[in-house]
């Protein structure tokens, strides 16, 4: 199977989102059930301990609150629903909420680290299947998982979960968060996915975790911009082979490449306005009751814990439509390589209107690598 040709999103779904975006219909929503996770990944944008949740000034949302929001969102047009965390399977009321949401007719996806999907969970998911389970693959061995996630003996559990999910024909997509702690397993992870004919989308860009710590503007446990560019291109080469890689390098030279696989709902900004679906056809609700355009953004946010869904959605749409990117970014000739968005600008600079220099450096390095490698190839061909 040629994974490069696999479409994660169907043409019909894309068409529906196009229509929903124009009409400002909340076709897709994300319910972030809890920030608690059994992993302790240092680059995570949201993770909190149980004690931190207890000490938080706002309470965690209840099952009854989620169900009320779901009912109102369905009336407003929501069809696609992503359940995420933290680790959603740790949330105490996960299965009872999941069953009721399935019965309401939503097309549900789940983001998970996969380590808690045991035989009982497999049976439950087989009886009421989601449309997809997105598993973040942090490495290809227990040792790498321990170094990356500070959790022992979990790769084998994740591997069993993936194997069993495939057996019962539940669609699985693998995501990859690349950092200095686990990049040594990049090729092994790619081979793992290819052997199992699974989509694998690694990213070397890690958002600064402002939602976890507002002082982390422009900082994270991540690569330098130069390293991030290198591993981004190396990932592409290993995933798709030398011929496709050469075409990709030439596209970089021409100044236009597809957006990175951070999320299939992320679409380029074109003229300074937010052009992705965030705040236009999709929304994110945090574990403590804030509606935001995107889970990576601590602001703007609308309090939905004591507010009707439609009121919160209309307010969020209005705020999202007024947001702009830096005028420098919108006129930059590298924009179609960079694909920087409002969430990235906010995370890197503290403002959606400032220039995310980390992304600028990544682009410069990608262009340099493309130029060097294509020149080297031409020289080799000349020598022959």
* CATH number of the domain bearing residue 113: 3.20.20.70
Q: Over the stretch 349-366, which tens digit does the pLDDT of each residue have?
A: 999 999 999 999 999 999
Q: Evaluate whether residue 256 is within a structural domain.
A: yes
User: Does residue 94 register a pLDDT over 50?
Assistant: yes
Please, is 102 exposed, middle or buried when counting C-beta atoms within 10 Å of its C-beta (0-12, 13-18, 19+)? middle
Q: Evaluate whether residue 79 is within a structural domain.
A: yes
Q: Evaluate whether residue 365 is within a structural domain.
A: no
**CA neighbor of 81 nearest in space, from 105, 45, 116, 59:** 105
H-type alpha helices, the chain: 11-23, 50-55, 63-76, 94-103, 119-127, 142-149, 155-167, 186-195, 225-254, 309-322, 327-331, 335-338, 342-349, 357-383
| Residue 11 pLDDT class (50, 70, 90 cuts) | confident
Average pLDDT (273-289) is 84
pLDDT of residue 91: 98
Q: Evaluate whether residue 128 is within a structural domain.
A: yes
| Residue 291 pLDDT class (50, 70, 90 cuts) | very high
Average pLDDT (298-312) is 94
Distance CA 304, CA 291 (A): 6
Q: Over the stretch 25-35, which tens digit does the pLDDT of each residue have?
A: 999 999 999 99
Q: Evaluate whether residue 240 is within a structural domain.
A: yes
Q: Evaluate whether residue 10 is within a structural domain.
A: no
Q: Evaluate whether residue 384 is within a structural domain.
A: no
Q: Evaluate whether residue 340 is within a structural domain.
A: no
CB atoms within 10 A of CB 290: 21
Q: Over the stretch 60-71, which tens digit does the pLDDT of each residue have?
A: 999 999 999 999
Residue ranges making up the domain that contains 145 = 26-269+276-323
pTM for this model (two decimals): 0.93
Distance CA 82, CA 108 (A): 6
Domain count, the chain: 1
Q: Over the stretch 192-246, which tens digit does the pLDDT of each residue have?
A: 999 999 999 999 999 999 999 999 999 999 999 999 999 999 999 999 999 999 9
Calculate the CA 292 to chain-centre distance: 15
Asked if residues 276 and 325 have their Cβ atoms less than 8 Å apart, the reply is no
């Amino acid at each position: 199977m040629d994974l490069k040709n696999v479409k994660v999103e169907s043409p019909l779904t894309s068409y529906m989102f196009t229509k929903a975006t124009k009409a400002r219909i909340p076709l897709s929503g994300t319910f972030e059930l809890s920030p608690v996770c059994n992993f302790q990944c240092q680059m995570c944008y949201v993770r909190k301990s149980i004690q931190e949740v207890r000490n938080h000034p706002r309470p965690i949302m209840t099952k009854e609150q989620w169900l009320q929001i779901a009912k109102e969102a369905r009336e407003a047009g929501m069809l696609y629903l992503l359940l995420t965390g933290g680790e959603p399977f740790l949330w105490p009321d996960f299965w009872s909420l999941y069953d009721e949401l399935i019965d309401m007719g939503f097309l549900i996806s789940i983001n998970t680290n996969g380590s808690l999907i045991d035989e009982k969970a497999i049976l439950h998911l087989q009886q009421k299947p989601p449309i997809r389970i997105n598993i973040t693959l942090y490495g290809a061995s227990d040792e790498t998982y321990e170094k990356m996630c500070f959790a022992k003996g979990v790769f084998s559990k994740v591997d069993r979960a993936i194997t069993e999910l495939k057996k019962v024909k539940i669609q699985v997509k693998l995501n990859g968060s690349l950092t200095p702690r686990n990049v040594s397993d990049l090729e092994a992870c790619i081979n793992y996915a290819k052997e199992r004919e699974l989509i694998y989308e690694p990213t070397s860009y890690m958002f600064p975790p402002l939602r976890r710590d507002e002082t982390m503007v422009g900082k994270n446990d991540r690569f330098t911009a130069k390293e991030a560019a290198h591993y981004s291109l190396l990932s592409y080469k290993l995933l798709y082979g030398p011929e496709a890689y050469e075409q990709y390098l030439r596209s970089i030279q021409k100044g236009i490449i597809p957006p990175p696989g951070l999320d299939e709902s992320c679409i380029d900004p074109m003229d300074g306005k937010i052009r992705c679906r965030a705040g236009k056809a999709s929304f994110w609700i945090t574990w403590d009751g804030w509606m935001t355009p995107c889970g990576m953004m601590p602001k703007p946010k609308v309090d939905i814990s004591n507010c009707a869904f439609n009121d919160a959605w209309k307010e969020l749409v209005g705020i999202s439509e007024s947001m702009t990117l830096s005028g420098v970014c919108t006129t930059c000739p590298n924009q179609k390589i960079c694909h920087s968005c409002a969430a990235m600008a906010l995370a890197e600079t503290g403002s959606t209107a400032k220039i995310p220099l980390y992304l600028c450096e990544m682009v410069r390095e990608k262009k340099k690598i493309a130029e060097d490698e294509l020149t080297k190839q031409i020289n080799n061909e000349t020598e022959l």
